[in-house]
Amino acid sequence: MTRFNSTLQNFNSRLWGYHIPVPASIGNEFVTGNDRRVWCTIDDIHEMQCALMPYPSGFFILLNKNLVNKLGLVLNAEVSVALKKDTSEYGMEIPETFRTLMDQDQEGACYFETLTPGKKRTLIYAVAKVKNIDRQINKGLAILEHLKLEKGKVEFKKLNLLIKDYNQRSKLKE
């Protein structure tokens, strides 16, 4: 694990917001080709999986506003950071419900595995952010069905419509 101190910064742009700069000398320890995934611990209280984003003077770690507020971080204030390489399969934890669905749907799972790592994480996050298990299952089923219908391509507008359809079907059964 590599530890260093940095400061909370803000790009003040529509695309990027709060971030923690990471010196090139430290970031380069963790980058292998296109793989920039790390476990990041902030101020010894919050651990998260994230990517080291490239920047002309090194790298940075993005933080959302909710996390900044939750941790009580202050713009331009010093933060303690610890990094270690993320060696997980997808760069984030996969919900047990989604793993089980993929185990049961080999065709959907095969299409899922052909996606880019970023798209895999996007779909995993879409399932993981749902707290209700039944809705998690519905979303996972819809994702796998969508991948089969689209032959492994992700069309987010179509996917969102299919997710809504699965949720409606679930409500009708209640």
Q: Domain total for the chain?
A: 2
Do 67 and 137 lie in one domain? The reply is: no
Q: How are strands ordered across the β-sheet holding 53-55? A: 9-10, 18-23, 58-62, 53-55
From 85, 117, 146, give the residue that closes a domain. Answer: 85
Cα angle for residues 6, 10, 16 (degrees, 5° grid): 115
Residues 81 and 105 in one domain: no
* 174 residues of the chain, pLDDT tens digit each: 999 999 999 998 888 899 999 999 999 999 998 899 999 999 999 999 999 999 988 999 999 999 999 999 999 999 999 999 999 999 889 999 999 999 999 999 999 999 999 999 999 999 999 999 999 999 999 999 999 999 999 999 999 999 999 888 876 665
Nearest to 59 by CA among 87, 84, 80, 29: 29
